[in-house]
Amino acid sequence: MSNFRDSLSQLFGNPPKRVDKSKFSVELVAMHKEKKFDKARIEAIHEELAEAKKSPQKWRRRRWATLIIINLLFVVSYWLDISMLEGALTASRFVGFHMADLNSALQVMLAYKHIVLNLVIGTTTIFIMWWLLGGRTFCSWVCPYHLLAEWAEMLHEKLVAKGWAKDHPFDRRTRTWFWFIFVILAVVTGYTVYETISPTGIISRALIYGPGLALLWVGLLLLFEIFYSRRAWCRYGCPIGLTYGLVGSISPFKVQYHLKDCLHEGECRKVCLVPHVLDTVIKGKAADFDVDIGADCTRCGRCVEVCPTESLTFKFKGIGDKL
């Protein structure tokens, strides 16, 4: 239960909870001590990393392909006028079955002060789907802005290496404040204010129906992330991620950390899109032998793929791990 509370706390932007080592079991203390004085660890790290670098980035390619295909389905369905995937990411129908983005649906219900049956059906479908997948899976596997932001981050890192840019982090609790602000605006104004500036919705509609002036806003966001603050919108601004993170926090599907096999080489945190969720992999911080990674995890699979010792694995509760 304490791990679940800490997971939600991180999702709302608070820093990872400080580890209370006095509550560690005798066996866990012994494991941490053994790792601290393991002189062969550094040599093992170099060997494992050399082997890991030979592996292609399969999970990233799968994720990018899935994201692109899903968004192209909307485009193809519209331009070929076929009833396969109609609408946009905010609200759609798949072969006639209603689907609605949870954050958009919440904004609509609050703004118009009534509940539409199709909206209930659509949100129920999406709720179950993202509950099963867990975390912020929507962000890394479906959201078109997330893909652009990831490419922008790659450019940002190259500019930082050349000394032409620098990352300026913000307080992650800002995203929570934005979530509440847009909820209040929807209730007070009667309009879905967030939808007018949502880069996810803007890009989705632009792909399907053609570009508009709203893409200038998206361009400004990307420039801000490239030159000033990497992945700023996803990490500090987007309320959609918070909504899906809340749903995914109770999911049976997890990324799980296994202390015993970990070399603490830190490769997972280098590639993680939300590195604060992997604080538990830092040497001496794991509160148990097996720890579920928190709700802010995007389930992108990069940490699982890059880990040289399989200390991070996908796990579906009740079925097993190493999926």
For residue range 161-215, list pLDDT tens digits in order: 999 999 999 999 999 999 999 999 999 999 999 999 999 999 999 999 999 999 9
Nearest CA-CA partner of 224 in 304, 165, 283, 307: 165
Residue 138 and residue 43 share a domain: no
Which one-letter amino acid corresponds to residue 213?
Answer: L
Residue 297 and residue 237 share a domain: no
Q: Using 50, 70 and 90 to split pLDDT, how confident is the model at 37? A: low
DSSP 102-156: HHHHHHHHHHHSS--HHHHHHHHHHHHHHHHH-TTHHHHHT-HHHHHHHHHHHHH
On whether residue 252 sits in a domain, the answer given is: no
| Residues pairing with 292 in the sheet | 256
Residue 87 and residue 36 share a domain: no
pLDDT over 70 at 63, yes or no = yes
Residue 225 and residue 122 share a domain: yes
For residue range 111-160, list pLDDT tens digits in order: 888 777 777 888 888 899 889 998 899 999 999 999 999 999 999 999 99
Backbone angles phi, psi at 37, to 5 degrees: -105, 15
**pTM, whole model, 2 decimals?**
0.89
Q: Using 50, 70 and 90 to split pLDDT, how confident is the model at 38? A: low
Residue 305 and residue 217 share a domain: no
Question: Of the candidates 246, 281, 303, which is a domain's last residue?
Answer: 246
Look at residue 242 in the predicted model and tell me its pLDDT: 92
What mean pLDDT do residues 265-290 have? 89
For residue range 230-257, list pLDDT tens digits in order: 999 999 999 999 999 999 898 999 999 9
On whether residue 196 sits in a domain, the answer given is: yes
Residue 285: which residues within 8 A CB-CB, separation 6 or more?
19, 279
Range of the domain at 191: 59-246
Query: Do residues 199 and 221 touch, judged by C-beta distance below 8 A?
Result: yes
On whether residue 19 sits in a domain, the answer given is: no
Task: At 268, list the tokens.
Answer: 């997972």
The mean of the pLDDT values for the chain is 87
Question: What's the structural domain count of the chain?
Answer: 2
Query: Do residues 125 and 92 touch, judged by C-beta distance below 8 A?
Result: no
